[in-house]
Amino acid sequence: MYSRITGTGSYLPEKVLTNHDLEKMVETSDEWIRTRTGITQRHIAEKNQKASDLALYASREAMKAANIASSDIDLIIVATTTPDMVFPSTACILQHKLGADNCPAFDVQAVCSGFVYALATADQFISSGKCRNALVVGTEIYSKILDWNDRSTCVLFGDGAGAVVLSQSEHPGILSSHLHASGSYKDVLSVPGNIEGGAVQGNPYINMEGGTVFKFAVKVLEDVVREAVEENKLSPSDIDWLIPHQANIRIIRSTAQKLGIPLDKVVVTVDKHGNTSAASIPLALDIAVKDGRIHKDQLVLLEGVGGGFTWGAVLLRW
C-alpha cells in the first residue's frame, strides 16, 4: 500500500504588511529586509483569527481538490507552533469545524519542520493500511508571538496555512521520508516563555541567533536532500522541483547551489509570504500545483529545518 497527495489547499489572511509598513513601526528599511531575507511583504491574521480558522480554509480547498467529503477523512494531523490554546489540540478543534467526527486528530510540534514531520507520520498510517485519507495541515499565526519592537525578528515572519489530502494509492507517491532532531540547539531558536500560575513566565516572544541558524540550516538541508536521493538511488539533478521551507532567500539559494540545483527548479514564495513556519512548505506546494508548474510523475522534494533543531525531507512522485 502506498500514499499519494490527492489534493492541496492554502489560505493567507487578507491583511498584507509590507516592508514599507514596517519602516513606520521599527528602525528598518525595505532595502535592508529585501537584501538580507528576500521578503517584500507578509500576511497578518486578524486579532480574532486562530490557527484552526486559517487551517479550515486551507483544508476545505484541499478536500475539494481531492474530491472527498468530511466523512471520508480517517486522520487529521496539524503541524503548528501557534495552537489555538494549550489544549485541546488544534487538530481536534479543526476536526469539529470540518464535521469529521470520530477520526484520530492530533498536533505535531516540530516548528518549521512540522509539515514534513506530519506528512511523514501520515504516510506511515496510510502505507500500513490504518487509514485511507489523511488531512495534513500546517497552520501558523506567528504575528501573535512576535515582539514588534524587535527589528531582528518581526520583519521575518508571516501568517498562513497550507493543507494536503494524503490518500491510499496502488502506485508510489511518497517514496521516502527522513526526519532528524538535535535538542542541544534548543536555545538558538526558541520561544522560551511558559504559563505558570495563570501568568506568563519568561520571554513569550521569538528569540533567535540568526548567524547560527543560517549556518546550521544550510548544512543540514543539503545533507538531508542528499540522504533522500541516495536512498532512492537518485542524484539531486533528478529532482524536478525542490520545495524548501521558506525562511530566507539566502538559505534557499545557498542550499540549491550546494546541491547543484538551478533556482528555476526551486519553488520560492518567501518574498510574498515571509517565514510562515509549518505552513510555508504546503503553501508553496499549493501555489506550484495551481499555477501548473508541477506535473504528473515529476519528482518533488520537500525539506525543512526549524527550532529544536528539527529538520527533515520527504521525496515524492507527483
Q: Does the annotation count 275 as an active-site position? A: yes
List 131, 154, 207, 245, catalytic entry: 245
**What is the separation of C-alpha 73 from the centre of its chain, rounded to a whole number of angstroms?**
21
Measured between alpha carbons, how far is 171 from 192 in angstroms, rounded to an integer? Answer: 44
Annotated catalytic residue 103: no
Joined grid coordinates for residue 254: 545557498
* DSSP alpha helix (H) spans, the chain: 19-23, 30-37, 51-66, 90-98, 114-127, 210-231, 249-259, 270-273, 280-290
The answer to whether the CB of 251 falls within 8 A of the CB of 218 is yes
Q: Is residue 187 classed as helix, strand or coil in its secondary structure? A: coil
Phi then psi for residue 75, to 5 deg, are -160, 140
The vertex-177 CA angle with 176 and 180, nearest 5°, equals: 150
Catalytic residue among 19, 43, 92, 112: 112
Q: Is 207 marked active-site?
A: no
Q: Which residues are catalytic?
A: 112, 245, 275
